[in-house]
Structure 1
Amino acid sequence: MAASRDARRLYRLVQEGRLCALREELDMDIEAANRDYKRHLHEAASMGHRDCVRYLLSRGAVVDCLKKADWTPLMMACTRKNLEVIQDLVEHGADPLLKNKDGWNSFHIASREGDPPILQYLLTICPDAWKTESKISRTPLHTAAMHGCLEAVKVLLQRCQYQPDCRDKCGLTPFMDAIQCGHINIARLLLQEHKACFCAEDSLGAQAIHRAAVTGQNEAIRFLVSELGIDVDVKATSTHLTALHYAAKEGHVSTVQMLISLGADINSKDERNRSALHLACAGQHLACIEFLLRSGLRDSPDITGTLAQQLTRNTDILQCFGHSMMA
């Protein structure tokens, strides 16, 4: 019990960066770990306390010790924008190519944070650091694009040799990641500098416009349709769903409005003969149903009958259909 209290006190000193107090207290095992196998060096690196990091290293702390999920102190340091701590760890032998349980190395983690000097440094000391994929085949370029790290994406395109439209296990490209997260500036850069294909399909045959509809990224949809000329009614090849179907399924009313304003066919059917209204009803999205009914669906009487059993427990939706029929 006393040992546990001692360990907690030491972790607190490291978190707070209190080096003098740490020196006075640290007569115990320098590799002591908590229940997650996190050691003092992990904590100091993750908090960016350079003095503590250097002191622990000088005392012989294992530089590539592993905590839960196989994270090293260098990986923890890469979650912070503190180049000096990263340099100290590397100079004491930290390996940037080690991977955690998800298949991420330190460069991949740094790409998520998006600090260009850190990426440039890691590429200088380990030129092959970019040649890594997670266990689901995501590259640092995917990650930087998803997290909106524009300057990091510029570094990756300048110094690394990623194939245009590299895909993860779901078939997603960095361009799709940028679009579905609303990072239009990165999408433009990938088109201009990496020759990304804006109509590439994922493993389910969905394109970037479909992914943007799922996440409700209205401005990204406008960019794809108005600037790039993508057909607003293009269907995913495996399901025949349009962007309007996807938006209705998720209940994104503003996205449904956007798509219709861009000319989406409200009566378009998927391979199972379902319209966007069918999918809005299946998801019990009342506001979306009301908007679609007001927008002039030709086959609402047929849909009312088809979905009657499914909607019997939702009187608000049934009333919505009733008002639509009487209008």
Structure 2
Amino acid sequence: MAVKRGYTDVVTMLLEAKASVQEANCDGWTPLHVATCHGYTLIVRRLLDAGADVDATTTAGDTALHVAARYGHDSIIEMLLACGASTYMYNHTGKTALALVKANTQGALLLEADMVALATEDAHNQQRHDQLVCAARNGDVRETAKLLDAGVCPDDATSSTTALHWAAAKGHAPIVEMLLEAGADTDPVQATDLWTPLMLAAAHGHLAVVESLLRRYASIFLTDAEGNTALLIAATHGATACVERLLQAQADVSATNDAGDTALHVASRGGHSDVVRVLLAAHAPLHAINHAKETALVLAPSHSDVEAILAPLVQSHVGHLIEAVETGDAASVQAYLQAGLPVDLRNKAGRTLLLLAIEKGQTAIVDVLVAAKAPVNQRATDGTSPLSLAAGLGEYRVAETLLQAGADPNTTHREGRALLLVAASDGHEALVQLLMSTAPRPCG
């Protein structure tokens, strides 16, 4: 009320008593809006000095500057601009203060001058930032320091490629340190490929830059547009030292990209034997398959150092898995299968793991293999099927397990004899009953 009536002394007294300058009425009008509307210059000054929000808006979206422009209060326009009022705010009808002020008035000139000044300042700031990007790209330490000391923000950019991106890509470690010290974001993302400075440094093998970024907690988990982490990118480009440092920082050695490739896949494909050794030492999944059903060994160039490293390891693991199946070592069988070895692999004689387990009487291993989705109808190269082998051996529980898993009860023995006949001729009555109950048919 005191503001509306223009009672300057009362307003001053209320402000000294800490009365709120931000409280608005039901239409969103603050005391500053009201004083501006009535042209009470001195009260406006008092309210601004007391901390009134110069850009507070009414329910119609008007700031005090809109109100001053609408009513032609040039001196208040000048005062509001001096306090930082925004000339670019739009009300709910899409109008700026300049659009509301009458043309060729002092208020219009003030607003236009302020907008020109802001545009000029923006252009100047952009020019200085462009200079910073150029200095970072060129490795100009002196110019970078000069611009940062002058207050240029290291993250301002019209492009998503920042000064830190360029310095990281070029390996300018001192400039990277300067930018980080100046508060640069450690993980800005490029718009097209989503690469971060850490990814660029890793791709180019700039270990010192990778070190600096990791010390500032740059993310090792972010992925690019194809799902690659910094570790996958370093492995792709054969940057061994960077791979080692990223692993020390706990980068996930099992992480996959959108194609299902691990770091070991991409290192193998590229023939980067040193990287392959480092990844294997970090327990990279040797038998993992990508979306194309390829292992790292499959991707290794023929007769390459990588193939020479991977092939003996894979063969050794296969041998150990077969041995574990034959000796009934269920824990080892599960471990090798979980590591990615295929459950349908064969030994040199063409026997599948499931056939070997049945042949050796390893019932518990049969259970493990069936649970791992071993193909229950897959025959050996001599035509023996798992169910026919179980029937011939009189292994009732194994046959029951196979049938429950989808084994074909109508399958024949490798000589073409029906399983019922095989079981009956060998005196396996319980097995005969099981086969008949599963797929009853006349015995001919």
- Class of the TM-score when normalised by the shorter of the 2 chains: 0.5 to 0.7
- Quote the Cα distance in structure 1 between the aligned partners of 2:150 and 2:215: 28
Amino acid at match of 2:203: R
1:198 aligns with 2:286: yes
2:276 matched residue in structure 1: 187
* Structure 2 Cα separation of the partners of residues 199 and 91 of structure 1: 43
Cα contact 1:209–1:224 (8 A) shared by 2 = yes
Question: 1:57 matched to which residue of 2?
Answer: 148
Cα distance, 1:88–1:204 mapped onto 2, change above 3 Å: same
SS at match of 1:29: helix
Whole-Å separation in 2 of the counterparts to 1:66 and 1:217: 49
Match of residue 259 from structure 2:
170
Greater shift in the superposed pair: 101-110 or 138-147: 101-110
Identify if the C-alpha distance between structure 1 residues 157 and 58 changes in structure 2 by more than 3 Å, giving closer, same or farther. same
Preserved contact between residue 137 and residue 169 of structure 1 (Cα < 8 Å): yes
Stretches of structure 1 that go unaligned for 5 or more consecutive residues are 1-27, 232-236, 238-327
| 2:135 matches 1:32 | no
Instruction: Note the C-alpha offset of 1:227.
Output: 5.1
Rounded to whole Å, the distance in 1 between the matches of 2:224 and 2:201 is 14
| Map 1:278-289 → 2, pairs under 5 A | none
Which residue of structure 1 aligns with residue 230 of structure 2?
Answer: 140
Q: Contact (CA 8 Å) 1:65, 1:73: kept in 2 or not?
A: no
Aligned to 1:159: 249
Q: Which has the larger radius of gyration?
A: 2
The Cα of 1:107 is off from its aligned counterpart by 1.7
The aligned residue for residue 88 of structure 1 is: 178
Q: Is the contact made by 1:39 and 1:67 (CA closer than 8 Å) also made in structure 2?
A: no
How far apart are residue 104 of structure 1 and its match?
1.8
User: What whole-Å deviation, never above 9, does each CA across 1:136-177 have from its counterpart, x for those lacking one?
Assistant: 211011011111111111111112241x32100000100011
1:57 deviates by 2.0
1:42 Cα deviation from its structure 2 partner = 1.3
Distance in 2, matches of 1:104 and 1:190, equals 23
TM-align CA RMSD: 2.5
What is the TM-score when the length of structure 1 is the normalising length? 0.54
1:240-251 alignment to 2 at 5 Å?
none
SS in 2 for 1:98: coil
- Cα deviation, 1:19-64, whole Å, max 9, x if unaligned, reads xxxxxxxxx935239xxxx922111101111111112223333311
Kept in 1, the 8 Å contact 2:269–2:299? The answer is yes
- What one-letter code is carried by the residue in structure 2 that aligns with 1:51? R
Match of 1:107 in 2: 198
Of structures 1 and 2, the one scoring higher in RCO (CA 8 A, sep 6+) is 1
Letter in 1 for 2:209: I
Aligned to 2:307: 221
Question: How far, CA to CA, are the matches of 2:205 and 2:156 in structure 1?
Answer: 25
In the TM superposition, what whole-angstrom CA distance separates every residue of 1:263-319 from its partner, at most 9, and x where no partner exists?
xxxxxxxxxxxxxxxxxxxxxxxxxxxxxxxxxxxxxxxxxxxxxxxxxxxxxxxxx
Aligned 1:249-260 pairs, distance under 5 A: none
Distance 1:106 1:100 in 2: 9
Displacement, 1:190? 0.8
Task: Quickly say closer, same or farther: Cα 1:217–1:203, change in 2 above 3 A.
Answer: farther
**Identical counterparts, % of pairs:** 23
**SS of alignment partner, residue 229 of structure 1:** helix
Contact 2:276 2:306 in 1 (8 A): no
**Matched residues in 1 for 2:303 and 2:214: separation?**
33
Give the alignment's TM-score, normalised by structure 2: 0.41
Q: Cα distance 1:217–1:71, how it changes in 2: closer, same or farther (>3 A)?
A: farther
The answer to whether the 8 Å contact 1:179/1:208 transfers is yes
The amino acid across from 2:162 in the alignment is T
Deviation for aligned residue 1:129: 2.1
The letter of the residue matching 1:208 is A
| Alpha carbons 2:126, 2:157 under 8 Å: kept | no
- Structure 2 residue 310 is the aligned partner of structure 1 residue 208: no
Q: What is the count of residue pairs matched by the alignment?
A: 195
Tell me how far apart the structure 1 counterparts of residues 303 and 235 of structure 2 sit (CA, whole Å): 15
Paired residue secondary structure (1:203): coil
Q: Distance in 2 between matches of 1:86 and 1:196?
A: 31
CA distance in 1, matches of 2:158, 2:265: 33
Residue 130 of structure 1 and its aligned partner are, at CA, apart by 1.6
In the alignment, the residues of structure 2 paired with residue 87 and residue 208 of structure 1 have an alpha-carbon distance, to the nearest angstrom, of 37
User: For 2:124, what is the secondary structure of its paired residue?
Assistant: coil
The structural deviation recorded for 1:95 is 0.3
Distance 2:279 2:264 in 1: 6
Which residue number in structure 1 is paired with residue 80 of structure 2? none
Gaps of 5+ in 2: 1-122, 319-341, 343-444
Give the Cα–Cα distance (whole angstroms) in 2 for the partners of residues 189 and 78 of structure 1: 24
One-letter amino acid of the structure 1 residue matched with residue 135 of structure 2: A
Between the aligned partners of 1:161 and 1:57, the Cα distance in structure 2 is 32
